[in-house]
Structure 1
Amino acid sequence: MFEHLVSFKFKGKLESQKEKELLETLRSFPRDIPGIVDLTAGINVTEETENIRGYTLGLRVTFVNRDALRQYGPHPAHQRFVRMLDGIIDEVIVVDYPVETR
């Protein structure tokens, strides 16, 4: 399996309706995109304010394998989400790694 972690930093504070729309779209991915084993997404509520650096939305997706992760990027559902970020996104951090099983 592969984990895909993403942190989003927006240009300004998002309205709650926009946050809800983004989260609903992300949470629809397992239904629409093959190869997703698990997905969580949410608004950052950390109390470690010195470490937040403006990143307010987090996403974790577990894929069945690396090929599923590779197919995710160009998938139409993912591309629709990317277009939703147009004009509002400042920075994104992405970390992908294989899941070690014991």
Structure 2
Amino acid sequence: MIMHCVLVRFRSEVQAEEKQAIYDGIAALQSVIDGIVDVKAGPNVSPEGLDCGYMDGFVVTFENAGARDTYLDHPDHKAVGYKLVEAAAGGQSGILVFDWKV
């Protein structure tokens, strides 16, 4: 399996409803892209203070790297990804992606 972790620094004016709409769009991909096992999203709740400004994030779990690659190229992913980049502080520089094989 592949865990696709995305941390986000949203622009300060982005409201909770807009964040949730983005997360809902990501979760909806599970019904249209084969190989997505699970989607979880939400705010950082760590008390450590090591978030570097990434106060929100989501994890998409895939059956394998092929499913992840299909997701990355899928037009519905690109559409929700565009909304995420628009909402992130500094655009793409406000997003951190880390994938690992589990």
Query: Equivalents in 2 of 1:86, 1:92: separation in Å?
Result: 8
Larger Rg: 1
Q: Which residue of 2 aligns with 1:71?
A: 70
Alignment map for 1:74-85 (pairs within 5 Å): 74-85=73-84
Report if the CA contact (8 A) 2:44-2:57 is conserved.
yes
Query: Equivalents in 2 of 1:70, 1:32: separation in Å?
Result: 14
Higher relative helix content? 2
Q: TM-score, normalised by structure 2?
A: 0.83
The answer to whether the aligner puts 1:45 opposite 2:36 as a matched pair is no
Residue identity opposite 2:24 in structure 1: E
Report if the CA contact (8 A) 1:43-1:56 is conserved.
yes
Higher relative strand content? 1
CA RMSD of aligned residues (A): 1.6
Residue identity opposite 1:66 in structure 2: A
Percent identity, aligned pairs only, is 31
Query: Equivalents in 1 of 2:97, 2:78: separation in Å?
Result: 16
Query: Equivalents in 1 of 2:85, 2:64: separation in Å?
Result: 29
